[in-house]
Structures are given as structure tokens and as C-alpha cells.
């Protein structure tokens, strides 16, 4: 593995003094020192005087499509895209083919991931086959290496079954991650239901679909005194419900995704399926409410919901599956949406994208400390760049940010003490 010395970087770690310039020395996959003017020899020295030094991002919502859908993405191409975005750890969603509901599948994924360039942690199904009928064997899945439970891609519609899942997961110390959607309300919808969908004559997904499901999860968490994590929050009302529940002491946490912070339903006027995702892009009022919810701590995390699809899959706006890729652009998009306008400082943003996800999932990393894993990224805050889908590093190209100018760029990523991405 060798050693790397980072010189003079601006430390942007939510657990450290903001913006202090320090050196970092890592050796054999472990951070050895973080202090001023390190004089120890190293195999590689990086002058980082103009750069910010961040803990590696922890993306707690990634669809790797592995196994069974690897024409869209796999462990290796997904981790390659992750590294290009400063992500060193990711939570792999279980809506694979077959769904990740058995210890054998978890073990196979972890075996493949051993040679990937970032750390892969499996989320597994709440219900067998994601059918919503019978709980998966949580204890056996945890022993195999699972760190979270979700049927993401669809909700668990049976409230009694979901309550049982939340209680059993709590007894094991596992996090339940809920995809909040009332399928009866959202059925057939392709974009946010509202003025734009009516103008375009495109079937809509009402905000009530997400809001009703979010209300149920909060009610279950409150009634039984157990945790719940709400993923990809997209509406102002859902954010407000999470805020109010937290004030009452409910063990609810929430995340949103970068595309909900920069884009709105107006993008769908182009009828390009790369802007179709679930939940859909909402109104500008919703977007601004999410920015405020991140500022005031209502939303704990930002995760990409990285959802690769092939060109063929996305060719027809009306028939295409939902989802967009996001790991490679996430930090830049969030820096543009949150740090540049002053909603968050860079260390506060990193808390949402690294420290908090690591804590929620009980993973190592999320901060930089001597003796900790050598997972970090160098970020150029002054760099502006235009997203070009053809220059991204994953297998699929369905980014919602193609052609957009973003602020800030990851220029180097180190995972396990190895340089896994270097710009240029």
C-alpha cells in the first residue's frame, strides 16, 4: 500500500477545526498523522495548498445493479464512478436480480466487492423477493454482512408487516430505510402532478403519495418507539412532518438527493427520461424547503439514489424506468446548491454526505483522525466544470446534470490508502 503525504490542505472535516491548513500522512491504509508540517518521508507527496481535504463520502443510497442487471452498472463500474465523486463507501440497494434477500447473495456481493476501488456495504430486502408478503431473515442477513434493510424501489404496503420489520430491525441494531410512496396514488405517474404536468398532458405523481407514506412511517416509529430512516425526501410537507416528529422525540431521520436541490419539475418540459426519477422532481417551493431542511438539521443526510439505466432503457420518455445517476456529480451539485449560496459551510455539507451517513449505518469513516481508515478526497472549491455525460466514469450515462455548470470538483480520491481516482 505504501504511504501518501498530503501537504497544506484546508481541512474540511465536521469534527475538526473548520478550514485549518494541515498535513495528512497515511501509511498501509491507515491515517498516521494529521498535523502541521509533517516531516516524515512518504512514497508520494501531494501539494494541496489550494485544495480542501475531506473525509471520503459515504453514499447511503446506491443502485449497483449487481447481480442480474449489470448491463446498466456493476460493482466495479459503480465504484469507479463513486471514486470520481469522492465517494469511498456506499450502501448497495437490494433491488437486484434476484433481490438481495439471502445470506448467499450478500456473501457473493461482498466477495466481488473485495477487489473494487471503494467500500461496498449491502442493504438487504425487508421482505422476501421484495414482494411485501413475508419478512426476510434479518438475523442471518446481518451475520452475512448486511448493514441496512429496505425494499427501495417500492414501499412495504402492509403496515403490520412494516411495523414488525421496524421492531425486529431495532432489536438487531439495523437501520430500516423506507421508500415512501403510496402506489395507489402514484400509479401511472411520470412526473410531479401539478401545473406543468397538466400543461404537458403527462400523468402525474401527487405529492400526497410521498406525504401519506411518510406520515405512516413516522406514526409507526412513534407508536413503537423504534427508528426509521426516510430516503429521498422530495416534498416540503414530508420535510415538515420529519421536523415536527423530531421535535416530539420520534426516532426519525431523513435524506434527500442532489437532484432535488438543483432541479424542479420544469426540467420535464424537455420530455427527456433522464429527468424522470422516483420520487419525481417537484416544485421550486419544494426545492427551497429541502434546502432549508438541510440547513436546520431536519434532514440528516444527502444520498445520491444513483440509479443507472442504459441508453435503450431511457430512449422513450413514456416507457423509460425511473432513475438517474449521481455519485460522480453529487459533491459538486451540493456545493453549488448549498455552500455557494450560504445554506451550509463545506464542513457542514460533509457532515450530511459523510459523517452522518456513517453514523446512521454504524460504518467506519466519515471523519479524519489518526488511526482511522485512510479514506479521503481532495476537492478544488474554485474549479468550475460543465457536466458531460460522455466523460463520466460509470457504465450508464443518464445524468440529470448534463450540460450544467457546477462549482467545485473532486481532484483526488484515496480509499484504503490507495489513490483510486485522480483528475486529469
pLDDT at residue 385 above 80? yes
pLDDT of residue 15: 87
Averaged pLDDT for residues 63-87: 99
The 3-state DSSP class for residue 58 equals strand
pLDDT of residue 18: 66
**% of the chain beyond a pLDDT of 90:** 98
Our answer to whether residue 305 is catalytic in this structure is yes
> Would you identify the CATH topology of the domain 56-361?
TIM Barrel (3.20.20)
Tens digits of per-residue pLDDT, 190-200? 999 999 999 99
**% of the chain beyond a pLDDT of 70:** 100
* Measured distance CA(13)–CA(254) in Å, rounded: 21
Averaged pLDDT for residues 283-294: 99
Closest CA to 277 of 309, 328, 321, 315: 321
Q: Could you tell me the residue ranges of all domains in the chain? A: 3-52+373-422, 56-361
Average pLDDT, the chain: 98
Averaged pLDDT for residues 380-409: 99
**Residue 95 marked as a ligand binder:** yes
**Residue 393 marked as a ligand binder:** no
pLDDT of residue 242: 99
Q: 277: Cβ–Cβ under 8 A, 6 or more apart, which residues?
A: 259, 305, 307, 322, 323, 324, 400
What b/e string do you get for 28-64 counting C-beta neighbours within 10 Å, with b at 16 or more?
Answer: eeebbebeeebeeebeeebebeebbbbbbbbbbbbbb
pLDDT of residue 17: 62
pLDDT of residue 100: 99
Same fold, 3-52+373-422 and 56-361: no
Which residues make beta-bridge pairs with 422? 412
**Residue 232 marked as a ligand binder:** yes
Tens digits of per-residue pLDDT, 114-157? 999 999 999 999 999 999 999 999 999 999 999 999 999 999 99
Tens digits of per-residue pLDDT, 184-231? 999 999 999 999 999 999 999 999 999 999 999 999 999 999 999 999
pLDDT band at 33 (very low <50, low <70, confident <90, very high): very high
pLDDT at residue 16 above 80? no
In Å, how far are 2, 229, 418 from 165, measured between CA atoms?
A: 44, 13, 39
Are the C-beta atoms of 103 and 96 separated by less than 8 Å? no
Q: Is the dihedral of CA 385, 391, 392, 397 positive or negative?
A: positive
Q: Is the dihedral of CA 56, 118, 273, 386 positive or negative?
A: positive
pLDDT at residue 280 above 90? yes
CATH number of 3-52+373-422: 2.30.40.10
pLDDT of residue 1: 76
In Å, how far are 133, 215, 255, 379 from 222, measured between CA atoms?
A: 23, 10, 19, 40
Grid coordinates of 349:
455539507
pLDDT at residue 247 above 70? yes
Name residue, grid cell 438543483: 262
* Measured distance CA(235)–CA(290) in Å, rounded: 7
Task: Report phi then psi at 46, rounded to 5.
Answer: -120, 120
pLDDT of residue 232: 99
- What H or E segment, with its residue span, contains residue 21? strand 21-27
* Sequence-distant contacts of 308-311: CB under 8 A, at least 24 apart: 308/63, 308/65, 308/72, 308/73, 308/78, 308/394, 308/395, 308/396, 308/398, 309/72, 309/396, 309/398, 310/71, 310/72, 310/396, 311/396, 311/397
* Measured distance CA(144)–CA(130) in Å, rounded: 19
* Measured distance CA(67)–CA(189) in Å, rounded: 28
* Measured distance CA(95)–CA(169) in Å, rounded: 19
Tens digits of per-residue pLDDT, 327-343? 999 999 999 999 999 99
286, 305, 313, 380: the active-site residue: 305
Task: Report phi then psi at 380, rounded to 5.
Answer: -95, 105
**Residue 61 marked as a ligand binder:** yes
Averaged pLDDT for residues 265-279: 98
pLDDT band at 96 (very low <50, low <70, confident <90, very high): very high
**Residue 65 marked as a ligand binder:** yes
Are the C-beta atoms of 109 and 79 separated by less than 8 Å? no
Amino acid at each position: 500500500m505504501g504511504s501518501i503525504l498530503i501537504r497544506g490542505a484546508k481541512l474540511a472535516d465536521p469534527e475538526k477545526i473548520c478550514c485549518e491548513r494541515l498535513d495528512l500522512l497515511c501509511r498501509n491504509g491507515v491515517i498516521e498523522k494529521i498535523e502541521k508540517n509533517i516531516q516524515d518521508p512518504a512514497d508520494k507527496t501531494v501539494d494541496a495548498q489550494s485544495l480542501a481535504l475531506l473525509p471520503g463520502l459515504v453514499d447511503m443510497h446506491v443502485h449497483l445493479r449487481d447481480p442480474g442487471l449489470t448491463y446498466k452498472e456493476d460493482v466495479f463500474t459503480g465504484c469507479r464512478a463513486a471514486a470520481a465523486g469522492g465517494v469511498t463507501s456506499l450502501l448497495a440497494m437490494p433491488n437486484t436480480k434476484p433481490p438481495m434477500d439471502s445470506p448467499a447473495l450478500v456473501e457473493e456481493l461482498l466477495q466481488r466487492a473485495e477487489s473494487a476501488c471503494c467500500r461496498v456495504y449491502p442493504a438487504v430486502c425487508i421482505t422476501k423477493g421484495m414482494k411485501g408478503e413475508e419478512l426476510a431473515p434479518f438475523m442471518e442477513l446481518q451475520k452475512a454482512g448486511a448493514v441496512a434493510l429496505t425494499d427501495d424501489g417500492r414501499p412495504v404496503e402492509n403496515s403490520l408487516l412494516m411495523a414488525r420489520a421496524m421492531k425486529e430491525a431495532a432489536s438487531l441494531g439495523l437501520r430500516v430505510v423506507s421508500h415512501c410512496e403510496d402506489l395507489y396514488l402514484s400509479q401511472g405517474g411520470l412526473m410531479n402532478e401539478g401545473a406543468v404536468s397538466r400543461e404537458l398532458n403527462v400523468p402525474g405523481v401527487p405529492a400526497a403519495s410521498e406525504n401519506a407514506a411518510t406520515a405512516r412511517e413516522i406514526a409507526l416509529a412513534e407508536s413503537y418507539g423504534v427508528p426509521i430512516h426516510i430516503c429521498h425526501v422530495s416534498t416540503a410537507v414530508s420535510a415538515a412532518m420529519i421536523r415536527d416528529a423530531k421535535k416530539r422525540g420520534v426516532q426519525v431521520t431523513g435524506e434527500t438527493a442532489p437532484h432535488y436541490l438543483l432541479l424542479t419539475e420544469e426540467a420535464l418540459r424537455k420530455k427527456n427520461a433522464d429527468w424522470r426519477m422516483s420520487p419525481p422532481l417537484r416544485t421550486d417551493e419544494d426545492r427551497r424547503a429541502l434546502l432549508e431542511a438541510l440547513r436546520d438539521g431536519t434532514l440528516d443526510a444527502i444520498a445520491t439514489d444513483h440509479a443507472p439505466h442504459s441508453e435503450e432503457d431511457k430512449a422513450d420518455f413514456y416507457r423509460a424506468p425511473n432513475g438517474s445517476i449521481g455519485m460522480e456529480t453529487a459533491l459538486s451539485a451540493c456545493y453549488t446548491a448549498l455552500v455557494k449560496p450560504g445554506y451550509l459551510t463545506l464542513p457542514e455539507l460533509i457532515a450530511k454526505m459523510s459523517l452522518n451517513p456513517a453514523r446512521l449505518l454504524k460504518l467506519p469513516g466519515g471523519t479524519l483522525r489518526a488511526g482511522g481508515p485512510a479514506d479521503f478526497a481532495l476537492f478544488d472549491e474554485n474549479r468550475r466544470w460543465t457536466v458531460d455525460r460522455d466523460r463520466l466514469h460509470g457504465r450508464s450515462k443518464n445524468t440529470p446534470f448534463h450540460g450544467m455548470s457546477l462549482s467545485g470538483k473532486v481532484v483526488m480520491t484515496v480509499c484504503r490508502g490507495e489513490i483510486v481516482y485522480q483528475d486529469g
